[in-house]
Chains A and B, each alone.
Chain A
Amino acid sequence: MKIEKAILAVITTNKANIDGGAPIFICENRQQAEEISANLEAITDGIAHELSDELFIIVKH
Protein backbone atom coordinates (compact mmCIF):
# COMPACT_ATOMS: atom_id res chain seq x y z
CA MET A 1 0.00 0.00 0.00
CA LYS A 2 1.24 3.44 -0.89
CA ILE A 3 0.78 6.08 1.76
CA GLU A 4 -0.23 9.26 -0.01
CA LYS A 5 -0.69 11.65 2.86
CA ALA A 6 1.65 12.24 5.75
CA ILE A 7 1.79 14.59 8.71
CA LEU A 8 5.10 16.39 8.36
CA ALA A 9 4.99 18.55 11.47
CA VAL A 10 2.86 19.44 14.45
CA ILE A 11 2.69 23.01 15.76
CA THR A 12 1.08 23.54 19.13
CA THR A 13 0.84 26.02 21.95
CA ASN A 14 -0.27 23.43 24.49
CA LYS A 15 2.78 21.73 25.98
CA ALA A 16 0.69 19.43 28.13
CA ASN A 17 -0.75 17.38 25.24
CA ILE A 18 2.45 16.49 23.42
CA ASP A 19 3.55 13.00 22.51
CA GLY A 20 4.42 11.03 19.40
CA GLY A 21 6.75 10.77 16.43
CA ALA A 22 6.25 13.72 14.09
CA PRO A 23 8.46 16.79 14.54
CA ILE A 24 6.75 18.98 17.11
CA PHE A 25 7.11 22.74 17.32
CA ILE A 26 6.08 24.27 20.62
CA CYS A 27 5.01 27.90 20.45
CA GLU A 28 4.32 30.57 23.04
CA ASN A 29 1.10 31.86 21.56
CA ARG A 30 -1.25 31.53 18.60
CA GLN A 31 0.43 34.25 16.60
CA GLN A 32 3.78 32.51 16.77
CA ALA A 33 2.13 29.21 15.87
CA GLU A 34 0.61 30.78 12.76
CA GLU A 35 3.94 32.26 11.69
CA ILE A 36 5.76 28.96 12.11
CA SER A 37 2.98 27.10 10.29
CA ALA A 38 3.17 29.56 7.39
CA ASN A 39 6.91 29.06 7.09
CA LEU A 40 6.71 25.30 7.39
CA GLU A 41 3.94 25.23 4.81
CA ALA A 42 6.14 27.06 2.34
CA ILE A 43 9.24 25.01 3.12
CA THR A 44 7.66 21.56 3.04
CA ASP A 45 5.16 22.14 0.19
CA GLY A 46 2.48 20.92 2.56
CA ILE A 47 -0.78 22.46 3.70
CA ALA A 48 -1.28 23.89 7.19
CA HIS A 49 -4.48 22.56 8.70
CA GLU A 50 -6.04 23.79 11.89
CA LEU A 51 -7.32 21.07 14.20
CA SER A 52 -8.13 23.30 17.15
CA ASP A 53 -7.20 26.74 18.43
CA GLU A 54 -3.94 25.46 19.83
CA LEU A 55 -3.01 22.81 17.27
CA PHE A 56 -1.86 23.04 13.64
CA ILE A 57 -0.54 20.22 11.48
CA ILE A 58 1.35 20.36 8.19
CA VAL A 59 0.15 17.66 5.83
CA LYS A 60 1.70 16.55 2.56
CA HIS A 61 -1.13 15.76 0.11
Chain B
Amino acid sequence: MNEYTLPILFGVIIGTVVRILMLRTDYRQYPTYLHGKVIHVSLGFIAASLGSVAIPAIMELEFTAVTFLTVAATQFREVRNMERNTLTEVDGFELVPRGKTYIEGIAISFESRNYLVIFTSFIGTLVFIVFNIYLAILATVVCFMISKVLMSGKTMKDIVEIDHHDLHFEGAGLYVDNIYIMNIGLPERQEEILKYGMGFVLTPKNMNVITTIANLGQRQAVLHDVSVTLGVFRDSGTPALTPLIKRDLDDGRIGIFILPQIREVTKAKKVIGAVPVLENAIRMPSESGFTNKRGQY
Protein backbone atom coordinates (compact mmCIF):
# COMPACT_ATOMS: atom_id res chain seq x y z
CA MET B 1 0.00 0.00 0.00
CA ASN B 2 1.25 3.45 -0.81
CA GLU B 3 -0.36 6.88 -0.93
CA TYR B 4 -1.89 6.22 -4.35
CA THR B 5 -3.48 2.85 -3.65
CA LEU B 6 -6.74 4.17 -2.25
CA PRO B 7 -7.26 6.92 -4.88
CA ILE B 8 -6.59 4.46 -7.71
CA LEU B 9 -8.90 1.89 -6.16
CA PHE B 10 -11.53 4.59 -5.73
CA GLY B 11 -11.16 5.68 -9.37
CA VAL B 12 -11.40 2.14 -10.68
CA ILE B 13 -14.48 1.36 -8.62
CA ILE B 14 -16.42 4.53 -9.47
CA GLY B 15 -15.46 4.19 -13.15
CA THR B 16 -16.78 0.65 -13.29
CA VAL B 17 -19.92 1.62 -11.38
CA VAL B 18 -20.55 4.51 -13.78
CA ARG B 19 -20.17 2.11 -16.73
CA ILE B 20 -22.67 -0.29 -15.17
CA LEU B 21 -25.12 2.56 -14.61
CA MET B 22 -24.78 3.61 -18.25
CA LEU B 23 -25.24 0.02 -19.43
CA ARG B 24 -28.97 -0.25 -19.22
CA THR B 25 -31.05 -2.31 -21.59
CA ASP B 26 -33.24 0.36 -23.12
CA TYR B 27 -35.06 1.12 -26.34
CA ARG B 28 -32.03 -0.07 -28.29
CA GLN B 29 -32.65 -3.58 -26.98
CA TYR B 30 -28.93 -4.05 -26.68
CA PRO B 31 -27.07 -5.62 -24.96
CA THR B 32 -29.79 -7.92 -23.68
CA TYR B 33 -27.77 -10.82 -22.38
CA LEU B 34 -25.32 -11.30 -19.58
CA HIS B 35 -22.44 -12.13 -21.92
CA GLY B 36 -22.78 -8.86 -23.79
CA LYS B 37 -22.92 -7.01 -20.50
CA VAL B 38 -19.85 -8.80 -19.13
CA ILE B 39 -17.84 -7.65 -22.15
CA HIS B 40 -18.82 -4.03 -21.61
CA VAL B 41 -18.35 -4.04 -17.85
CA SER B 42 -14.87 -5.53 -18.37
CA LEU B 43 -13.99 -2.87 -20.92
CA GLY B 44 -15.40 -0.28 -18.53
CA PHE B 45 -13.09 -1.65 -15.84
CA ILE B 46 -10.09 -1.28 -18.17
CA ALA B 47 -11.17 2.27 -19.05
CA ALA B 48 -11.58 3.10 -15.36
CA SER B 49 -8.10 1.72 -14.60
CA LEU B 50 -6.55 3.81 -17.37
CA GLY B 51 -8.32 6.92 -16.12
CA SER B 52 -7.31 6.46 -12.50
CA VAL B 53 -3.60 5.74 -12.99
CA ALA B 54 -3.09 8.84 -15.12
CA ILE B 55 -3.04 11.27 -12.16
CA PRO B 56 -0.56 9.32 -9.98
CA ALA B 57 1.67 8.97 -13.05
CA ILE B 58 1.71 12.73 -13.54
CA MET B 59 2.30 13.31 -9.82
CA GLU B 60 5.35 11.06 -9.98
CA LEU B 61 6.58 13.20 -12.91
CA GLU B 62 6.24 10.25 -15.28
CA PHE B 63 4.82 12.39 -18.05
CA THR B 64 5.44 9.86 -20.79
CA ALA B 65 3.08 7.50 -19.00
CA VAL B 66 0.21 9.64 -20.22
CA THR B 67 0.86 8.40 -23.75
CA PHE B 68 -0.82 5.14 -22.80
CA LEU B 69 -4.08 7.04 -23.03
CA THR B 70 -3.56 6.89 -26.79
CA VAL B 71 -3.51 3.11 -26.44
CA ALA B 72 -6.86 3.47 -24.73
CA ALA B 73 -8.21 5.50 -27.65
CA THR B 74 -7.14 2.80 -30.11
CA GLN B 75 -8.59 0.13 -27.87
CA PHE B 76 -12.00 1.80 -27.68
CA ARG B 77 -12.15 2.53 -31.37
CA GLU B 78 -11.86 -1.22 -31.62
CA VAL B 79 -14.95 -1.44 -29.39
CA ARG B 80 -16.86 0.58 -31.93
CA ASN B 81 -15.74 -1.78 -34.71
CA MET B 82 -16.69 -4.79 -32.66
CA GLU B 83 -20.19 -3.46 -31.97
CA ARG B 84 -20.69 -2.44 -35.58
CA ASN B 85 -19.62 -5.85 -36.89
CA THR B 86 -21.72 -7.83 -34.44
CA LEU B 87 -24.84 -5.78 -34.97
CA THR B 88 -24.45 -5.76 -38.76
CA GLU B 89 -24.03 -9.54 -38.77
CA VAL B 90 -27.20 -10.19 -36.79
CA ASP B 91 -29.23 -7.44 -38.46
CA GLY B 92 -29.94 -9.67 -41.47
CA PHE B 93 -31.96 -11.97 -39.26
CA GLU B 94 -34.24 -9.33 -37.78
CA LEU B 95 -37.81 -9.32 -39.09
CA VAL B 96 -37.45 -5.55 -39.38
CA PRO B 97 -33.74 -4.64 -39.55
CA ARG B 98 -32.22 -1.83 -37.51
CA GLY B 99 -30.45 -0.33 -40.48
CA LYS B 100 -26.83 0.82 -40.79
CA THR B 101 -27.37 4.33 -39.45
CA TYR B 102 -28.92 3.07 -36.24
CA ILE B 103 -26.13 0.51 -35.77
CA GLU B 104 -23.50 3.18 -36.30
CA GLY B 105 -25.23 5.33 -33.67
CA ILE B 106 -25.19 2.50 -31.14
CA ALA B 107 -21.54 1.70 -31.90
CA ILE B 108 -20.51 5.34 -31.44
CA SER B 109 -22.33 5.57 -28.13
CA PHE B 110 -20.58 2.45 -26.86
CA GLU B 111 -17.21 3.96 -27.72
CA SER B 112 -17.98 7.33 -26.21
CA ARG B 113 -19.30 5.84 -22.97
CA ASN B 114 -15.87 4.36 -22.35
CA TYR B 115 -14.34 7.82 -22.71
CA LEU B 116 -16.88 9.15 -20.24
CA VAL B 117 -15.71 6.42 -17.84
CA ILE B 118 -12.05 7.43 -18.29
CA PHE B 119 -13.01 11.04 -17.71
CA THR B 120 -14.98 10.23 -14.54
CA SER B 121 -12.20 8.06 -13.08
CA PHE B 122 -9.63 10.72 -13.93
CA ILE B 123 -11.56 13.47 -12.15
CA GLY B 124 -12.46 11.19 -9.23
CA THR B 125 -8.84 10.22 -8.59
CA LEU B 126 -7.63 13.78 -9.02
CA VAL B 127 -10.07 15.18 -6.47
CA PHE B 128 -9.34 12.29 -4.08
CA ILE B 129 -5.58 12.95 -4.17
CA VAL B 130 -5.81 16.74 -4.04
CA PHE B 131 -8.68 17.04 -1.51
CA ASN B 132 -10.44 14.08 0.11
CA ILE B 133 -12.80 11.20 -0.52
CA TYR B 134 -16.01 13.15 0.18
CA LEU B 135 -15.29 15.79 -2.40
CA ALA B 136 -14.23 12.99 -4.75
CA ILE B 137 -17.64 11.34 -4.38
CA LEU B 138 -19.31 14.68 -5.02
CA ALA B 139 -17.15 15.21 -8.12
CA THR B 140 -18.09 11.75 -9.36
CA VAL B 141 -21.78 12.51 -9.01
CA VAL B 142 -21.31 15.76 -10.95
CA CYS B 143 -19.38 13.86 -13.66
CA PHE B 144 -22.17 11.31 -13.87
CA MET B 145 -24.75 14.08 -14.28
CA ILE B 146 -22.66 15.61 -17.06
CA SER B 147 -22.37 12.17 -18.71
CA LYS B 148 -26.14 11.81 -18.56
CA VAL B 149 -26.59 15.15 -20.31
CA LEU B 150 -23.97 14.26 -22.93
CA MET B 151 -25.61 10.91 -23.58
CA SER B 152 -29.17 12.10 -24.00
CA GLY B 153 -30.36 13.23 -27.39
CA LYS B 154 -33.59 14.41 -28.95
CA THR B 155 -36.46 12.09 -29.71
CA MET B 156 -38.92 12.18 -32.60
CA LYS B 157 -41.69 13.86 -30.59
CA ASP B 158 -39.44 16.92 -30.20
CA ILE B 159 -39.16 17.43 -33.94
CA VAL B 160 -42.39 16.17 -35.54
CA GLU B 161 -46.17 16.14 -35.05
CA ILE B 162 -47.52 12.58 -35.06
CA ASP B 163 -51.03 11.97 -36.41
CA HIS B 164 -52.95 8.77 -36.90
CA HIS B 165 -54.49 8.25 -40.36
CA ASP B 166 -56.45 5.30 -41.66
CA LEU B 167 -54.97 3.20 -44.44
CA HIS B 168 -56.86 3.08 -47.72
CA PHE B 169 -56.46 1.64 -51.19
CA GLU B 170 -56.86 3.42 -54.50
CA GLY B 171 -56.95 0.53 -56.94
CA ALA B 172 -53.96 -1.58 -55.92
CA GLY B 173 -52.09 1.37 -54.39
CA LEU B 174 -51.86 1.55 -50.59
CA TYR B 175 -52.03 5.07 -49.18
CA VAL B 176 -51.56 6.71 -45.78
CA ASP B 177 -53.38 10.03 -46.05
CA ASN B 178 -52.23 11.13 -49.52
CA ILE B 179 -48.82 9.43 -49.32
CA TYR B 180 -48.35 6.44 -51.61
CA ILE B 181 -46.82 3.46 -49.84
CA MET B 182 -46.82 0.44 -52.17
CA ASN B 183 -48.72 -1.63 -54.72
CA ILE B 184 -50.53 -4.66 -53.28
CA GLY B 185 -52.03 -6.85 -55.99
CA LEU B 186 -53.96 -9.54 -54.16
CA PRO B 187 -57.35 -8.69 -52.61
CA GLU B 188 -56.72 -11.03 -49.64
CA ARG B 189 -53.44 -9.24 -48.85
CA GLN B 190 -55.24 -5.92 -49.11
CA GLU B 191 -57.82 -7.13 -46.59
CA GLU B 192 -55.07 -8.30 -44.23
CA ILE B 193 -53.35 -4.98 -44.49
CA LEU B 194 -56.51 -3.00 -43.81
CA LYS B 195 -57.27 -5.27 -40.87
CA TYR B 196 -53.85 -5.39 -39.23
CA GLY B 197 -52.11 -2.29 -40.50
CA MET B 198 -51.95 1.21 -39.04
CA GLY B 199 -51.00 4.46 -40.67
CA PHE B 200 -49.30 7.52 -39.20
CA VAL B 201 -48.17 10.78 -40.67
CA LEU B 202 -45.21 12.70 -39.27
CA THR B 203 -45.32 16.41 -39.98
CA PRO B 204 -41.95 18.15 -39.58
CA LYS B 205 -41.91 21.15 -37.24
CA ASN B 206 -39.29 23.11 -39.18
CA MET B 207 -37.00 23.18 -42.21
CA ASN B 208 -34.10 21.33 -40.56
CA VAL B 209 -36.31 18.44 -39.59
CA ILE B 210 -37.47 17.79 -43.15
CA THR B 211 -34.02 16.62 -44.16
CA THR B 212 -33.44 14.74 -40.92
CA ILE B 213 -36.59 12.62 -41.10
CA ALA B 214 -36.10 12.03 -44.82
CA ASN B 215 -32.92 10.12 -43.96
CA LEU B 216 -33.47 6.45 -44.82
CA GLY B 217 -31.59 5.31 -41.73
CA GLN B 218 -33.77 7.45 -39.47
CA ARG B 219 -36.88 6.05 -41.11
CA GLN B 220 -35.66 2.47 -40.70
CA ALA B 221 -34.96 3.19 -37.02
CA VAL B 222 -38.59 4.25 -36.55
CA LEU B 223 -39.84 1.03 -38.18
CA HIS B 224 -37.46 -1.10 -36.15
CA ASP B 225 -38.33 0.46 -32.81
CA VAL B 226 -42.07 0.28 -33.46
CA SER B 227 -41.83 -3.34 -34.60
CA VAL B 228 -39.75 -4.37 -31.60
CA THR B 229 -41.94 -2.58 -29.06
CA LEU B 230 -45.39 -3.32 -30.48
CA GLY B 231 -44.63 -6.57 -32.27
CA VAL B 232 -44.93 -7.09 -36.00
CA PHE B 233 -47.46 -8.98 -38.10
CA ARG B 234 -45.14 -10.65 -40.55
CA ASP B 235 -42.89 -13.62 -41.16
CA SER B 236 -40.12 -14.58 -43.53
CA GLY B 237 -41.67 -15.35 -46.90
CA THR B 238 -44.36 -12.66 -46.60
CA PRO B 239 -42.62 -9.69 -48.21
CA ALA B 240 -45.99 -8.05 -48.92
CA LEU B 241 -46.41 -7.56 -45.18
CA THR B 242 -43.48 -5.24 -44.72
CA PRO B 243 -43.75 -2.07 -42.64
CA LEU B 244 -42.74 0.86 -44.82
CA ILE B 245 -42.16 4.58 -44.60
CA LYS B 246 -42.57 6.83 -47.59
CA ARG B 247 -42.17 10.52 -48.06
CA ASP B 248 -44.47 13.17 -49.43
CA LEU B 249 -42.15 14.89 -51.89
CA ASP B 250 -44.30 17.99 -51.84
CA ASP B 251 -43.88 19.04 -48.21
CA GLY B 252 -41.52 16.50 -46.64
CA ARG B 253 -44.14 14.81 -44.48
CA ILE B 254 -43.51 11.14 -43.76
CA GLY B 255 -46.16 8.42 -44.07
CA ILE B 256 -45.64 5.40 -41.83
CA PHE B 257 -47.30 2.09 -42.54
CA ILE B 258 -46.84 -0.42 -39.73
CA LEU B 259 -48.28 -3.84 -38.91
CA PRO B 260 -48.16 -3.99 -35.12
CA GLN B 261 -49.43 -6.82 -32.97
CA ILE B 262 -50.63 -4.35 -30.34
CA ARG B 263 -52.96 -2.05 -32.27
CA GLU B 264 -53.41 0.89 -29.95
CA VAL B 265 -53.15 4.33 -31.45
CA THR B 266 -52.00 6.16 -28.31
CA LYS B 267 -49.35 3.55 -27.54
CA ALA B 268 -48.07 3.56 -31.10
CA LYS B 269 -47.85 7.35 -31.05
CA LYS B 270 -45.84 7.21 -27.85
CA VAL B 271 -43.45 4.63 -29.29
CA ILE B 272 -42.90 6.62 -32.48
CA GLY B 273 -42.38 9.74 -30.38
CA ALA B 274 -39.74 8.02 -28.27
CA VAL B 275 -37.57 6.94 -31.23
CA PRO B 276 -34.21 8.68 -30.88
CA VAL B 277 -33.15 11.18 -33.53
CA LEU B 278 -30.03 9.52 -34.88
CA GLU B 279 -26.86 11.55 -34.67
CA ASN B 280 -25.90 10.58 -38.21
CA ALA B 281 -29.26 11.64 -39.61
CA ILE B 282 -29.31 15.15 -38.16
CA ARG B 283 -28.95 17.85 -40.80
CA MET B 284 -29.09 21.55 -40.16
CA PRO B 285 -29.57 23.48 -43.37
CA SER B 286 -30.36 26.59 -41.31
CA GLU B 287 -26.77 26.58 -39.97
CA SER B 288 -25.42 27.09 -43.47
CA GLY B 289 -26.62 30.69 -43.29
CA PHE B 290 -28.59 30.53 -46.53
CA THR B 291 -31.94 29.69 -44.97
CA ASN B 292 -33.60 30.02 -41.62
CA LYS B 293 -35.59 27.32 -39.86
CA ARG B 294 -38.71 28.14 -41.85
CA GLY B 295 -36.78 27.68 -45.10
CA GLN B 296 -36.90 31.38 -45.98
CA TYR B 297 -34.40 34.26 -46.43
Contacts and interface: CB of A to CB of B under 8 A. Distances in A.
Interface stretch (B75-83, B111-119, B184-192, B285-293): B184-192
A48 B240 contact: yes
A38 B242 CA distance: 16
A47 interface: yes
Contacts of A38: 186, 188
Contact of B239 (A47, A50, A56, A57): A47
A49 B188 contact: no
Of A37, A42, A49, A57, most buried by chain B (CB within 10 Å of CB) is A49
A56 B182 CA distance: 14
Interface string B47-76: 000000000000000000000000000000
A34 B171 CA distance: 15
Interface string B187-215: 11100000000000000000000000000
Given A49-B172, A50-B171, A50-B172, A56 B237 contact: no
B42 interface: no
Interface string B231-268: 00000110110100000000000000000000000000
B185 A48 contact: yes
Contacts of A48: 184-186, 189, 240
Contacts of B184: 47-50
Nearest to B187: A34
Contacts of B239: 45-47, 61
B25 interface: no
Give the bracket for the number of chain B residues in contact with chain A: 10 to 19
Chain B contact residues: over half helix, strand or loop, or mixed? Answer: loop
Interface in A38-61: 38, 41-42, 45-50, 56-57, 61
B155 interface: no
B85 interface: no
B32 interface: no
Nearest to A35: B186
Contacts of A50: 171-172, 183-186
23 contacts: A34-B187, A34-B188, A37-B185, A37-B186, A38-B186, A41-B189, A41-B240, A45-B239, A47-B185, A47-B239, A48-B185, A48-B189, A49-B172, A49-B183, A49-B184, A50-B171, A50-B172, A50-B183, A50-B185, A50-B186, A56-B185, A57-B185, A61-B242
Interface of B: 171-172, 182-189, 236-237, 239-240, 242
Interface of A: 34, 37-38, 41-42, 45-50, 56-57, 61
